[in-house]
Amino acid sequence: MYDKFIPLTKKEMDEQGITQFDFIYITGDAYVDHPSFGTAIITRLIESLGFTVGIISQPDWHMDRDFKKFGTPKYAFLVTSGNIDSMVAHYTVAKRKRSEDAYTAGGVAGKRPDRAVIVYCRKLREYFGDVPIAIGGLEASLRRFAHYDYWDDSVRPSVLVDSGADLLMYGMGEHQIEELCKRLANGEDIKNIHDIRGTCYLTEPINTPIGSAQCPSFEQVRDNKTEYAKATKIQYDWQDEVYGKTIVQRHGKSMLVQNPPAYSLTTEELDHIYSLPYTRTYHPSYEEMGGVPGIEEVRFSITHNRGCFGYCNFCSIALHQGRRVTCRSEKSILEEAERITHMPDFKGYIHDVGGPTANFRSTSCEKQLSKGLCMGKKCLAPKPCPALKADHSEYIDILRKIRKIKGIKKVFIRSGIRYDYLMEDKNDEFMRELIKYHVSGQLKVAPEHCSAVVLDKMGKPHIEAYKAFQKRFYEITKGIGKEQYLVPYLMSSHPGSTLNEAIELAVFLKENHIRPEQVQDFYPTPGTISTCMFYTGLDPYTMEKVYVPVTTEEKSAQRALLQYFRPQNREIVLKALKKAGRYDLIGTSPKCLVEDFGKNNRKADSKWKKKEVLKSQTNRKNKLKNTSDRQKKSTTASRRKKKGR
């Protein structure tokens, strides 16, 4: 395995004989050199192009020391918030501060600022003046246009305007960063580089490219929700690498220009990216803090595809990775699996062979290659398109070959499976092998809801697809003598969901004997279609009004209904059922959700609370013990390494 990291410290810079970096990469995450982390991919690619690059990880934004430790780069600073939006990293959907950060050493929260891209760029301007700055990553992608910000509860301008950067790279940035590096090295001024696909820049309105699709301005979308909805539709409609247009949006005296999307990487290009010399672990400086938790789920995982034509309205993948699916070659995937078997702490288990959607290995139809993806339509919802090509044969073959590699005991599939796509495959060979070889007792799937009204607003298939899959899953599971279960992901309070739809979902769960341990409230992340509906109360594709649950009371009720069986939710569920006039669901009959115990309910709740407090204390103790053990183990390993043992 490789053991050379991209320089993170001045000492490492000196050891590699570098006096000035060509590029300095600033990230809000701890440095993990694994291809599941954007920082690793981009810096390794820059290195492979023959440039030098240093990483400043989680700089202290209260002072200049960290920002200045490498001096000024020869060509540019590159800035990202990290793998996820910094506000999502910091806050729950209830806008409470998170106590942990999986992308920070030791899981410590608070190592990056709110709106990290903006803060980092402004500090660079303060300390380095007119130095070239390019921004990228998920936070930049999702905030590239004027966008509703859930945490401010207001519309903010493009992050390019707020940050003061020179160029914004959106989407998966390999093509953009390669072209930018080469052109800067050839002496071009970043302020004049306006023709790279997959980038945004600011210019004077007089220079607006002819033939562009124009969104309502920042001021218009800030002040008028109908205009915001119109802008969202324009941004999604022309977001295609085949027919996509340049999109513009005025911000005051400047024009924001988004060039058409970068072309998806070819199989050969993807293979090259995943062959770069990643160490597949976090930087050794994090050992004494217990490592970086975010590596645990992916360290022994393999990404075989990119993009997702599933195109759910609440998902950011369409804006970032795109809808077109591209894949690595079988040879590349098998070589990575072989490399994993030689890692010193590999125990024989590949955690995942997946991607945004694990069982996609090609575009959904041939037309996409030359015509692009259908504007305003979805390949799988509300029903699968007649042109859909569902074929798992290549994926099955790859999984079979990985299972045969010496040293591999089990191959799991933990990233999302699109069961609706799976059910369209006339050959059920993949489903049988999935259940027999690749499930560890539970298979996580995402029906999200059961109401057609809500599912249509989510851009998801109707519940009949899930019911068919569920029936077939348990038939096959029983047939091979295994005891395995489906774990459905469910979402409460999505736009379109009234109290009646939430009750409908609770009834569905009871009828199907599903008791979800976790439920996700809808989280309005920047840029998505669902967030547009949340903010405007309008469906941007029909301009029809959409019901949006926004009060804390109603959101709590919808969430509680999905876990109606929990004692602490009884009073909330009772109140919701009475409010909706659903007295038929209150009582002791099998169809009822809760009983109305009256005064006796207090005693039941008190007994439950004591039990839950004890359980919580026990879990906390175990968690602290595990963390302590992990830190001791890491410290011991570090000491042995230093002593050469």
At 589-644, the pLDDT tens digits run: 999 999 987 755 555 555 544 554 565 566 556 655 554 554 555 445 444 444 44
Predicted confidence (pLDDT) at residue 20 exceeds the cutoff of 50: yes
Q: Residue 2 has what pLDDT? A: 67
Q: Residue 518 has what pLDDT? A: 83
Q: What is the 3-state secondary structure (H, E, C) of 423-447?
A: HHCCCCHHHHHHHHHCCCCEEEEEE
CA 312 to CA 207: how far, in whole Å? 35
Indicate the CATH number for domain 10-203+250-258. 3.40.50.2300
Q: Which two tokens stand for residue 510?
A: 């009871």
Neighbouring C-beta atoms of residue 268, cutoff 10 Å? 10
What value does the mean pLDDT take over residues 104-114? 96
Let me know: does 158 contact 144? Beta carbons within 8 Å: yes
What value does the mean pLDDT take over residues 226-242? 97
Q: Residue 617 has what pLDDT? A: 60
Tallying the residues shown for the chain, one arrives at 645
pLDDT digit string, tens, across residues 111-143: 999 999 999 999 999 999 999 999 999 999 999
- Residues 6 or more apart whose Cβ sits within 8 Å of residue 391: 361, 362, 425
Q: Residue 643 has what pLDDT? A: 46
On the question of a common fold for 10-203+250-258 and 455-596, the answer reads no
Helix axes 225-237, 529-536, angle to 10 degrees: 170
Q: Which two tokens stand for residue 480?
A: 């091979």
Lateral strand order in the sheet of 485-492: 442-448, 485-492, 520-521
Q: Residue 599 has what pLDDT? A: 53
Mean pLDDT over the full length of the chain: 93
CA 5 to CA 179: how far, in whole Å? 24
Let me know: does 428 contact 397? Beta carbons within 8 Å: no
Element (H, E) at 88: helix 86-90
Query: Could you identify the residue written with the tokens 């005051």?
Result: 252
Burial of 125 (0-12, 13-18, 19+ CB in 10 A): middle
Q: Where in the chain are the domains?
A: 10-203+250-258, 455-596, 598-628
The share of the chain scoring above pLDDT 70, in percent, equals 92
Neighbouring C-beta atoms of residue 130, cutoff 10 Å? 8
Nearest to 275 by CA among 53, 33, 37, 35: 35
CA 354 to CA 188: how far, in whole Å? 39
- Residues 6 or more apart whose Cβ sits within 8 Å of residue 127: 64, 67, 68
End-to-end CA distance of the chain: 18
Higher pLDDT, 379 or 642: 379
At 495, the pLDDT band (50, 70, 90 cuts) reads very high
Predicted confidence (pLDDT) at residue 44 exceeds the cutoff of 80: yes
What value does the mean pLDDT take over residues 171-200? 98
CATH class of 455-596: alpha beta
